[in-house]
């Protein structure tokens, strides 16, 4: 019989687990854990919950599978912990336990494939309605459909069909540390519209892309991510509160419950899966939460949907890995992080992508990960490694935040490697002025930045008129285009057409000023013109 021999926080050593496999789930005295090292009949287990009171000699049972997510129609609109156990409907205090609730809901199922049809793996054989805002597709393992249950209400774990001799249920289990299979990766570049002008225009993200959002505390990281969770045009949003504040999660939940999805009219929460493993919830479940989140997104991708994973923050995930590695006595590399930090970060972001699913439809997982650099230091290992593996970085700037310029995305300190390709997509899709606007806005901002650094030394009075207009243009672009209030009903979300229009309006005003100065109007006179109409345009719908 297997028993605990040593306990040091979440690190539990076990003897007698014969035949156990790496990463297999075990029950150590009533607390769930995962095998992370094996030596002879001796296993090291990382416990997912608080192990207070756990003693040597406590019984250990193997649960026979690695940490797996229960993927089913209950996901959309639900709130879960880092191990994907439902939090809704459970107790006020989260005491350690193996299982929190069992679910007996019945789901309306409608078959879409008659008996006798041969189907490829991943092909939908029916849909469940009422599970969030999208039809939840039940997919086949492949083979000939030998039996299908008629339309009706079934439990998630009840067979609704038999395909290739196997029972098909609405839900299934998948080990979270392994990506769900797909047919091919697609190279096509389609933008994910976030509704935030500075991003959509200057630093766009593509469907299936990856983004890191580094920012010190107080730079508005959480507000920006919440805006994207609310307004981006994905079908499914998986929001992972990975070691962040409980009050913030309560706020996200309250807002998602109240806000209507502009595309469906339903609640935003009904297209969202919230994984709330806040900072004081078990540390190892925090580590697991980013994997459960991506697995859920892949599950919806496989139905042919566009899913977005927002993880706030991946630094807490990396720190949980560091904490455990250090307890286990692993040799530390940079700043105490284990040596596999870079490869772990790369592997996580590589689970994003636009793919052809097994069923043949396109679907995507986009990953947006917040990074919380200690001391706001962008040279620390989690930030630097992450920057290497993502397609875009939206770097949040403390000076902008202190000046109450939100979103405080630094246009000079950020990048998007997909910007040119996505601008071309806009041009192909009827927004020919997009590329022009983008190029001019970026150019003017860069020039204005350079000039204002110079002006701090010598003042602006000595500048030629054109340069003074460029400085003015920088201000108009910042205030009239890049700043966007998360609290404004008219401006919280900005569609590409409107972004295009606003950019055009401001660039037009800049052109007017340039023409005036070319004709000899003194720069001082141009600078004192009333631009309030241009600046307030963003507050009008």
Partner 1 sequence: MIELEYTAISELRGPLAVVSGVSGVGWDESATIRLPSGETRHGLVLEVDRDLALVQVLEGTSGMSRDGTRVGFAGSPLRVPVGAGWLGRVCDGRGAPLDGGPPVFGTAAAPAGGFPLNPTWRVPPAEPVLTGVSAVDLLTTLVRGQKIALFSAPGLPHLELAAQIAAQSHVGGEPFSVVFAAMGLTHADAAAVRDALELRSAAGELVLLLNLADDPVIERVLTPRIALTVAEHLAFELGRHVLVVMADMTSYCEALREVSAARGEIPARRAYPGYLYSDLASLYERCGRVRGRPGSLTLLPVLTMPAGDITHPVPDLSGYITEGQIVLSPAIPVYPPIDPLASLSRLMRGGVGAGRTEPEHMDLAAQTLAALARARQAGELAELVGAGALSATDRCYLDLARAFTEDLLRQPGDEARTLEQTFERAWRVLSVLPRRELSMLDPGVLEARYREAA
Cis amide prior to 407 (ω within 30 degrees): yes
Task: Specify the DSSP class assigned to residue 59.
Answer: B
Q: Is the dihedral of CA 324, 329, 333, 335 positive or negative?
A: positive
Note whether 7 and 49 are within 8 A (CB): no
Contact assessment for residue 392 and residue 418, using Cβ atoms and an 8 Å cutoff: yes
CA pseudo-torsion sign 479, 482, 485, 490: positive
Nearer to partner 1, 23 or 50 (CB): 50
**One residue of 87, 199, 202, 505 binding partner 1 per CB under 8 A:** 87
Least separation in angstroms between residue 466's CB and partner 1 is: 25
Q: Shortest distance, CB of residue 389 to partner 1, whole angstroms?
A: 23
**Binder among 280, 429, 439, 462 for partner 1 (CB under 8 A):** 280
Closest CB to partner 1 among 13 and 34? 13
Tell me: does residue 524 bind partner 1 (CB under 8 A): no
What is the DSSP secondary-structure string of 301-355?
A: HTTT-EEEEEEETHHHHHHHHHHHHHHTTPPB-GGG-BTTHHHHHHHHHTT-EEE
Which residues in 411-470 contact partner 1 (CB under 8 A)?
none
Q: How far is the CB of 79 from partner 1 (least distance, A)?
A: 5
In whole angstroms, the minimum distance from the beta carbon of 90 to partner 1 comes to: 6
The residues with which 32 forms a beta bridge, in sequence order, are 27
Give the nearer residue to partner 1 in terms of CB position, either 104 or 404: 404
Q: What separation in angstroms does the CA of 477 have from each of 414, 415, 505, 511, 536?
A: 17, 18, 10, 13, 12
**Counting contacts by CB under 8 A, is residue 281 touching partner 1?**
yes
The least distance separating partner 1 from the CB of residue 335, rounded to whole angstroms, comes to 7
Q: How many residues bind partner 1 (CB under 8 A)?
A: 62
Nearer to partner 1, 215 or 363 (CB): 215
Q: Which residues of 66-101 are buried (b: 16+ CB within 10 A; e: fewer)?
A: bbbbbbbbbbbbbbbbbbbbbbeeeeeebebeeebe
* Binding of residue 95 to partner 1 (CB under 8 A): yes
* Min CB(348)–partner 1 separation in Å: 20
> Which parts of 6-65 interact with partner 1 (CB under 8 A)?
6-9, 13, 50-57
Per rule CB under 8 A, is residue 97 in the interface with partner 1? no
DSSP-based three-state secondary structure for 58: coil
Q: 345 near 389, Cβ under 8 Å? A: yes
Nearer to partner 1, 10 or 353 (CB): 10
Position 204 contacts partner 1 (CB under 8 A): no
Question: Does 309 interact with partner 1 (rule: CB under 8 A)?
Answer: no
Is 519 one of the binding residues for partner 1 (CB under 8 A)? no
Choose between 396 and 419: whose C-beta lies nearer to partner 1. Answer: 396
| Cα 243 to Cα 245: distance, rounded to the nearest angstrom | 7
Q: What angle do CA 188, 504, 406 make, to 5 degrees?
A: 80
Q: Cα 297–299–304 angle (5° rounding)?
A: 95
Distance CA 507, CA 476 (A): 9
2 binds partner 1 (CB under 8 A): no
Question: In this chain, which of 111, 195, 208, 243 binds partner 1, going by CB under 8 A?
Answer: 243
For residue 311, report the phi and psi dihedrals to the nearest 5 degrees. Answer: -115, 115
Please state the closest distance from residue 267 (CB atom) to partner 1, in A: 15
Nearest to 57 by CA among 19, 96, 14: 14
Q: Which of residues 310-349 bind partner 1 (CB under 8 A)?
A: 316, 319-320, 322-323, 326-327, 332, 335-336
**Shortest reach from residue 327's CB to partner 1, in Å:** 8
One DSSP character per residue, 119-131 reads E-TT-EEEEE-SS
Name the 3-class secondary structure at 139: strand
Nearest to 208 by CA among 396, 381, 421, 408: 421
Which of 167-175, 240-248, 424-432, 461-469 is the region at the interface with partner 1 (rule: CB under 8 A)? Answer: 240-248
Shortest distance, CB of residue 413 to partner 1, whole angstroms?
18
Residue of the chain from 1, 92, 458, 461 that contacts partner 1 (CB under 8 A): 92
Give dist(CA 263, CA 362) in Å, integer.
20
Interaction of residue 254 with partner 1, rule CB under 8 A: yes
Instruction: Tell me whether residue 114 or residue 375 sits nearer to partner 1 (CB atom).
Output: 375
CA 79 to chain centre: 15
Site string for partner 1, 217-236 (x = CB under 8 A): xx------------------
CB of 278: closest distance to partner 1 in angstroms?
6
**Minimal distance, residue 230 CB to partner 1, in Å:** 16
DSSP 509-520: HHHHHHHHHHTT
Binding mask 359-398 for partner 1 (x = CB under 8 A): -------------x-xxxx---------------------
Is the CB of 209 or the CB of 241 nearer to partner 1? 241
Pairing of strands 392-393, 205-206: unpaired
Residue 86 three-state SS: strand
User: Quick one: which segment of 2-10, 179-187, 432-440, 446-454 binds partner 1 (CB under 8 A)?
Assistant: 2-10
Rounded CA gap, 232 and 234, in Å? Answer: 6
Q: Which stretch binds partner 1 (CB under 8 A): 5-13, 148-156, 386-394, 472-480?
A: 5-13
Please, which residue, 138 or 249, has the CB nearer to partner 1? 249
Q: Which residues bind partner 1 (CB under 8 A)?
A: 5-9, 13, 50-57, 79, 87-88, 90-95, 217-218, 241, 243, 245-251, 253-254, 276, 278-283, 316, 319-320, 322-323, 326-327, 332, 335-336, 372, 374-377, 402-404, 487
């Amino acid at each position: 019989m297997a028993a605990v021999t040593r306990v040091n926080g979440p690190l539990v050593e076990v003897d007698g687990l014969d035949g156990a496999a790496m990463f297999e789930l075990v029950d150590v005295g009533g607390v769930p854990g995962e095998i992370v090292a094996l030596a002879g009949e001796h296993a090291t287990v990382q416990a997912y919950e608080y192990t207070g009171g756990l003693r040597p000699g406590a019984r250990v049972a193997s649960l026979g599978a690695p940490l797996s997510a229960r993927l089913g129609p209950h996901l959309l609109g639900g709130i879960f912990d880092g191990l994907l156990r439902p939090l809704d409907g459970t107790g006020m205090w989260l005491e350690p336990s193996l299982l929190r609730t069992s679910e007996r809901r019945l789901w309306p199922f409608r078959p879409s494939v008659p008996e006798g049809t041969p189907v490829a793996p991943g092909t939908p054989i029916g849909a469940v309605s009422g599970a969030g805002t999208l039809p939840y597709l039940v997919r086949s393992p492949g083979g000939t459909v030998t039996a299908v249950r008629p339309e009706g209400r079934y439990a998630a774990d009840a067979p609704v069909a038999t395909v290739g001799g196997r029972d098909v249920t609405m839900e299934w289990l998948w080990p979270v540390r392994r990506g769900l299979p797909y047919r091919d990766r697609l190279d096509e570049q389609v933008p994910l519209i976030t509704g935030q002008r500075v991003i959509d225009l200057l630093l766009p993200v593509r469907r299936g892309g990856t983004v890191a959002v580094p920012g010190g505390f107080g730079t508005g990281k959480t507000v920006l991510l919440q805006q994207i969770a609310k307004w981006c045009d994905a079908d499914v949003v998986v929001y992972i509160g990975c070691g962040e504040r409980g009050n913030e999660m309560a706020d996200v939940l309250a807002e998602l419950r109240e806000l209507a999805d502009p595309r469906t009219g339903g609640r935003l929460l009904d297209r969202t899966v919230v994984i709330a493993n806040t900072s004081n919830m078990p540390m190892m479940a925090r580590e697991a939460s980013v994997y459960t989140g991506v697995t859920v997104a892949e599950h919806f991708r496989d139905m042919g949907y566009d899913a977005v994973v927002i993880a706030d923050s991946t630094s807490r995930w990396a720190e949980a890995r560091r904490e455990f590695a250090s307890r286990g006595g692993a040799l530390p590399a940079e700043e105490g992080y284990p040596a596999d930090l870079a490869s772990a970060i790369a592997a996580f972001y590589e689970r994003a992508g636009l793919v052809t699913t097994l069923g043949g439809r396109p679907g995507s997982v986009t990953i947006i990960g917040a990074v919380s650099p200690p001391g706001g230091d962008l040279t620390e290992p989690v930030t630097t490694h992450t920057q290497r593996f993502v397609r875009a970085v939206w770097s949040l700037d403390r000076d902008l935040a202190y000046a109450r310029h939100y979103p405080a995305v630094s246009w000079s300190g950020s990048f998007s490697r997909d910007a040119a390709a996505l601008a071309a997509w806009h041009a192909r899709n009827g927004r020919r002025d997009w590329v022009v606007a983008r190029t001019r806005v970026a150019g003017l901002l860069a020039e204005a930045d350079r000039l204002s650094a110079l002006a701090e030394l010598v003042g602006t009075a000595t500048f030629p008129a054109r340069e003074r207009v460029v400085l003015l243009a920088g201000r108009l672009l910042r205030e009239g285009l890049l700043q966007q209030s998360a609290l404004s009903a008219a401006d919280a979300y900005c569609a590409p057409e409107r972004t295009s229009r606003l950019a055009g309006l401001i660039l037009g005003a800049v052109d007017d000023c340039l023409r005036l100065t070319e004709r000899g109007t003194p720069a001082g006179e141009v600078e004192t013109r009333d631009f309030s109409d241009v600046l307030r345009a963003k507050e009008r719908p």
